[in-house]
Chains A and B, each alone.
Chain A
Amino acid sequence: ETGVTQSPTHLIKTRGQQVTLRCSSQSGHNTVSWYQQALGQGPQFIFQYYREEENGRGNFPPRFSGLQFPNYSSELNVNALELDDSALYLCASSLGYSANYGYTFGSGTRLTVV
């Protein structure tokens, strides 16, 4: 059974640029959720993808967008990067669209915006 993998592991971008982060879900999991974790804080829900559609979103602006592919892998795109976007971005997969199925997290992508 493969776990959740994320790429890249680290990334440095300049303010105003765009970034794409990638996530492969655990085998058998059909739902992918994305979280932002600032230093010293708990993860914050960005959005969730189920059956290739966004079906839940947290308090993040539209410049945060995503995709899910037929193999359940997912991308997170962030446009017009701001300094405050610097954080660890975590992808989590689960068996179903409800969070009470339990998440398996990836190791994250550390994004630094300068």
Chain B
Amino acid sequence: GENVEQHPSTLSVQEGDSAVIKCTYSDSASNYFPWYKQELGKRPQLIIDIRSNVGEKKDQRIAVTLNKTAKHFSLHITETQPEDSAVYFCAPYSGGGADGLTFGKGTHLIIQP
């Protein structure tokens, strides 16, 4: 099965600064790389995803970059705001059929005012 690690486990940044969370995975067949955001007491929400034929994808203040050779992908958040405070999960996926996602343990992002 897929081994997934996220770093750091906790990240504290000043409001307005950038944040980067890294996810490493073990399965070289992984071809779909989503990031989910979960605010305290709320449901996980898909915020951005990338497929293996693309190296980078951007959506306003968030971006995801993929390095398939090194088997890692990263979430980048620029101009951080208080509402970015949440736990972020990566969930690389290699199954072509009915396998579920393997989530990392999460990164707790804290935005300091």
Contacts and interface: CB of A to CB of B under 8 A. Distances in A.
Nearest to B33: A100
B101 A50 contact: no
A73 interface: no
Contacts of A98: 95-98
Interface in B23-76: 31-32, 34, 42-46, 49, 51
Contacts of A103: 44, 46, 101
B99 A102 contact: no
A32 B97 CA distance: 14
A42 B44 CA distance: 10
The prevalent SS among residues of B at the interface is: loop
A20 interface: no
A44 B99 contact: no
A66 interface: no
Interface in A51-85: 55-56, 58
A33 interface: yes
Contact of A42 (B31, B96, B106): B106
Given A100-B51, A105-B45, A107-B42, A45 B34 contact: no
A59 to B, nearest CB: 8
Contacts of B31: 100
Contacts of B103: 42-44
